[in-house]
Chain A
């Protein structure tokens, strides 16, 4: 894997290079600002770019946009999450076409070094394998009319997403009105620490209020609940949010599967389940169960995903009733609530 490091601190560049080289990756370039990154990509093609955000001159956001417009290369935003503003900027870089975001690694003296280093390498590897499609902007066709007469009114919308998810979630939520009659539960796999940034970023553009789910609260209509770091988000029998510790139960954490599974148990078929862009297959099998129970299930259209793992698996398992782009999903949901508006949870 050939990596380009874009980072203005020499120290951090050396650290990242060291981590990558220890993992047998090839660092084919180190540049210290956005202009140099754009120029580098015009000459040489890395498999993936590790991109910092704050740099003198052209910053990471501008550089990512330029690169994605001219010679698309998978970009991973490498930044620290302590600062909410940074994280939000990182989210914006995702919107500009970066694949995902990862925590800037701690130094070798830090107890978390090993873990951060592994995570960095893993994320870059995943990103390097993503096949980038040059997006052709197109008008979203109105989804075909779905007759809901024979269906139960949904009580909750549940969304699962991973790599490429933030961009899709934003597109989807951005088109929903504040008077949405259902709560939205979202499990988004994201590097630890970035969740507050994600929430902040979504709140900047969504009419709905986005929050991080808390133990025991009852989901309210028009509110969006993000599964917190380090816990599974489920609904209990009384349809309250139950956060379950992740303790090596074999699931990703938080996992879409656990959310969908709890919905199947306690809400049954009165669910709109959505699987968006992401690696792997988290939640696909459980979505099939939901569909069998009568839930409305949607997978993201493969032409708009960053990684077609989870939605692709849902299609393969015939778990998805519909295959739609994020804004089509939003329109479809809006259509649902025009007919079923009052009958929510």
Chain B
């Protein structure tokens, strides 16, 4: 009994830490906002938080917390009931109570603060509508208003009290997950059944082992050349062959069945996996209000400490966004707010001089956007960024040169604040106070697939906008190949993919340009940007260009192959590779390959700095005429099909409807490869091949025979007449044909 009681006590304390952590954060927000407006709903919420914290403290026998809550609650109850009117004294008392509470919550084992009884008495007296004759509560160190260090000690990390982070999930979400888990269970049973089938099939191989022994001994007898034995051995072999045929037929049947069932199971499992992912993703969609928890208190606290007066407005926080996005958004948001209060908003005197209201305004808004994106806008009406200061620093660091700096607009200058070189410099450090620089803020946002934007009017204020995806779970990416490696580019930044004739690529002053519509964009070979080795031979008839775009920046990247776009799951690189140039994260493809996901903004910067600008000649050299292929085939359908397949990968294709026509064309014009049918009127494929091999100019022409015939003799004949490859139409598929043709171009 005693041990079970200790166990429950331990569990309750753990739960208490979490609950208290949430409530104390909430209280801080309410207090900060009550300071601005005496709103009834806020009062109600504060009351409820205190009331519930009291109940929770009681359940874990923390009587000093319980009694403080009790006294505070009494005061608020009197205000709620209309017996008292909320005044500034009440808020001051409330703040003291809050500080005392967070101090006690920070260390539950500490003895209660000495000021507690006096504070409780003040709260009770205030609740009765009386004020103390003597100066209220002997302020202990933690309760001096405006003392920055003390405030921080008591309340700076209220959320930390709440141990492990928890996620609140609507119960009915789980019903769906349970349903899915049940279908998964079904698939598990099926998988077990298939395993059994496969094992049974495996067992049948004992028959084959017996047979192979018989065959081996029959062969031995044949080898020894004993005549009477020969007859016996041959009849054994014949018998074995027959048995083997039945055995294999049975096996084929069996394999077909297994394949069919496996396909069905694959289908089911895929559906379940998709559902689970989708459900979990929806569970992970939280209201943006999650990240503004604690924000009003923080803003209030910094404002107090720096002698500013600030109104904070929050809007759109009911928007639902992926928890992982929100989590990573927290520190950038805090950073911006800190900047805004500390450096953006002026002191009341300065504001008055500038003809503004004493109280500065800061607004946080979450704005729903299109295509699964949203924006977080943090705006203040303070002094704005100083373009002169930024410019001076940027010049000093050599980030820009004087000529350019003269022409830069304020908006362009403001954007410089995000440059990493600048963020560590003194002016930006001044600008950002402490913690992360703006460059790191930008990195945070970009790692989420987002963009940052800043708009600053000197003297009027500053607006930061983060454009972000609402969900992270899956991500579309363009898979490309460069120098034999697969790489992924976030699809959100890929405007389009082009297959261009080499002429579309222009070289201007040693730099490449590509014409896209009416625009001429700068272009680089991705291989050069990433300093990858050039492949041995470039047999490219087309240039493949991915056009990347974000904000105003558009540029082309030349790649070797485009594998297509697909959904990928982002895997972070881990703390050891926190920041790898040009790489944002990695993903694992279905076939197990690990593919890096490129960082478009980084790529652009690296590309701009690529001194060895790709020269046109080098480029053109790799881009010779597309190989031309002659297809000889009498069936219109087959001819069309083969032509289409070959053209789809960029070959130039001409056709002939029989062997003779093909022969004539071959003499008129050079071709890289001939693809020919065997059975054709007038001249068949064998004859055509034979003639080609005898012709002095054409002898080296690669010939690929395609036929419906599936006979060994034909194949042998094809080889004899000098064909380079032989494809049976029944085994004919696109990949197969292309693969063979590629060997000869």
| Interface status of B300 (Cβ within 8 A of chain A) | no
Segment of B51-59, B197-205, B337-345, B544-552 in the binding face? B51-59
| 10 A-B pairs closest in CB distance | A109-B61, A11-B56, A107-B61, A15-B59, A9-B56, A110-B61, A9-B52, A107-B59, A108-B5, A11-B16
- Alpha-carbon distance A83/B50, docked complex (angstroms): 13
**Minimal Cβ-Cβ distance residue in A for B51:** A54
Closest-CB distance, B514 to chain A (whole angstroms)? 58
Partner of A109, one of B53, B55, B56, B60: B60
| Interface status of B654 (Cβ within 8 A of chain A) | no
- Alpha-carbon distance A92/B569, docked complex (angstroms): 55
Q: Please give the residue numbers on chain B whose beta carbons come within 8 Å of chain A beta carbons, in ascending order.
A: 4-5, 8-9, 11-12, 15-16, 18-19, 45, 47-48, 51-56, 58-61, 70, 73-74, 77, 81
| B9 engages A107 (CB within 8 Å) | yes
Interface pairs (28), CB distance under 8 Å: A7-B55, A8-B52, A9-B53, A10-B15, A10-B18, A10-B56, A11-B12, A11-B16, A11-B55, A12-B56, A14-B8, A14-B11, A14-B15, A15-B8, A18-B8, A52-B55, A54-B47, A54-B52, A80-B54, A80-B55, A104-B58, A106-B61, A107-B9, A107-B60, A108-B5, A108-B12, A109-B60, A113-B61
**Minimal Cβ-Cβ distance residue in B for A110:** B61
Most buried by B among A11, A12, A54, A82: A11
- Alpha-carbon distance A109/B16, docked complex (angstroms): 14
| A9 engages B59 (CB within 8 Å) | yes
Closest-CB distance, A90 to chain B (whole angstroms)? 13
- Alpha-carbon distance A15/B13, docked complex (angstroms): 10
- Alpha-carbon distance A150/B187, docked complex (angstroms): 88
A83: chain B residues within 8 A (beta carbon): 70, 73-74, 77
- Alpha-carbon distance A9/B53, docked complex (angstroms): 8
- Alpha-carbon distance A205/B52, docked complex (angstroms): 29
- Alpha-carbon distance A85/B47, docked complex (angstroms): 12
A14: chain B residues within 8 A (beta carbon): 8, 11-12, 15, 59
Closest-CB distance, B78 to chain A (whole angstroms)? 9
| B70 engages A82 (CB within 8 Å) | yes
| A11 engages B48 (CB within 8 Å) | no
| B54 engages A11 (CB within 8 Å) | no
Closest-CB distance, B7 to chain A (whole angstroms)? 9
**Minimal Cβ-Cβ distance residue in A for B74:** A83
**Minimal Cβ-Cβ distance residue in B for A79:** B55
B52: chain A residues within 8 A (beta carbon): 8-9, 12, 54
- Alpha-carbon distance A14/B53, docked complex (angstroms): 14
- Alpha-carbon distance A12/B52, docked complex (angstroms): 9
Given the contacts A104-B55, A108-B12, A55 and B74 also touching, CB distance less than 8 Å = no
Partner of A108, one of B8, B19, B53: B8
A9: chain B residues within 8 A (beta carbon): 19, 52-53, 55-56, 59
- Alpha-carbon distance A108/B18, docked complex (angstroms): 19
- Alpha-carbon distance A325/B45, docked complex (angstroms): 41
Partner of A11, one of B5, B19, B77: B19
| A85 engages B81 (CB within 8 Å) | yes
| Interface status of A56 (Cβ within 8 A of chain B) | yes
- Alpha-carbon distance A85/B50, docked complex (angstroms): 14
| A54 engages B5 (CB within 8 Å) | no
Most buried by A among B9, B45, B58, B59: B59
| Interface status of A105 (Cβ within 8 A of chain B) | yes
| A54 engages B61 (CB within 8 Å) | no
| B18 engages A85 (CB within 8 Å) | no
| A11 engages B61 (CB within 8 Å) | no
Closest-CB distance, B44 to chain A (whole angstroms)? 9
| A15 engages B12 (CB within 8 Å) | yes
- Alpha-carbon distance A10/B20, docked complex (angstroms): 10
- Alpha-carbon distance A55/B49, docked complex (angstroms): 9
Partner of A56, one of B8, B48, B60: B48
| B12 engages A107 (CB within 8 Å) | yes
Partner of B58, one of A22, A56, A80: A80
Most buried by A among B52, B54, B81: B52
A18: chain B residues within 8 A (beta carbon): 8, 12
A105: chain B residues within 8 A (beta carbon): 59
Closest-CB distance, B339 to chain A (whole angstroms)? 34
**Minimal Cβ-Cβ distance residue in B for A52:** B55
B70: chain A residues within 8 A (beta carbon): 82-83
A52: chain B residues within 8 A (beta carbon): 55
Closest-CB distance, A204 to chain B (whole angstroms)? 12
Closest-CB distance, A116 to chain B (whole angstroms)? 10
- Alpha-carbon distance A299/B303, docked complex (angstroms): 67
- Alpha-carbon distance A161/B467, docked complex (angstroms): 66
**Minimal Cβ-Cβ distance residue in B for A15:** B59
Closest-CB distance, A61 to chain B (whole angstroms)? 14
- Alpha-carbon distance A106/B18, docked complex (angstroms): 19
Closest-CB distance, B680 to chain A (whole angstroms)? 75
Which residues of A in the span 1-46 have a Cβ within 8 Å of any Cβ on B? 7-12, 14-15, 18, 22
A15: chain B residues within 8 A (beta carbon): 8, 12, 59-60
- Alpha-carbon distance A54/B49, docked complex (angstroms): 9
**Minimal Cβ-Cβ distance residue in B for A56:** B48
- Alpha-carbon distance A11/B61, docked complex (angstroms): 11
Most buried by A among B16, B18, B81: B16
- Alpha-carbon distance A167/B53, docked complex (angstroms): 30
Closest-CB distance, A167 to chain B (whole angstroms)? 23
- Alpha-carbon distance A52/B61, docked complex (angstroms): 19
- Alpha-carbon distance A113/B52, docked complex (angstroms): 19
**Minimal Cβ-Cβ distance residue in B for A85:** B77
- Alpha-carbon distance A59/B60, docked complex (angstroms): 24
B4: chain A residues within 8 A (beta carbon): 22
**Minimal Cβ-Cβ distance residue in B for A16:** B59
**Minimal Cβ-Cβ distance residue in A for B5:** A108
**Minimal Cβ-Cβ distance residue in A for B48:** A54
Which residues of A in the span 77-117 have a Cβ within 8 Å of any Cβ on B? 80, 82-83, 85-86, 104-110, 113
| A10 engages B54 (CB within 8 Å) | no
A106: chain B residues within 8 A (beta carbon): 58-59, 61
| B19 engages A10 (CB within 8 Å) | yes
- Alpha-carbon distance A11/B17, docked complex (angstroms): 9
- Alpha-carbon distance A60/B93, docked complex (angstroms): 29
| A107 engages B58 (CB within 8 Å) | yes
- Alpha-carbon distance A56/B51, docked complex (angstroms): 11
Known contacts A10-B19, A86-B51; 17 additional CB pairs below 8 A are A7-B55, A9-B52, A11-B12, A11-B60, A14-B12, A22-B4, A52-B55, A80-B54, A80-B55, A82-B70, A85-B81, A107-B9, A107-B58, A108-B5, A108-B8, A108-B12, A109-B60
- Alpha-carbon distance A86/B48, docked complex (angstroms): 12
- Alpha-carbon distance A55/B9, docked complex (angstroms): 24
- Alpha-carbon distance A15/B18, docked complex (angstroms): 15
| B81 engages A11 (CB within 8 Å) | no
- Alpha-carbon distance A7/B58, docked complex (angstroms): 14
Closest-CB distance, B431 to chain A (whole angstroms)? 40
Closest-CB distance, A12 to chain B (whole angstroms)? 5
**Minimal Cβ-Cβ distance residue in A for B45:** A56
Closest-CB distance, A108 to chain B (whole angstroms)? 5
A109: chain B residues within 8 A (beta carbon): 9, 60-61
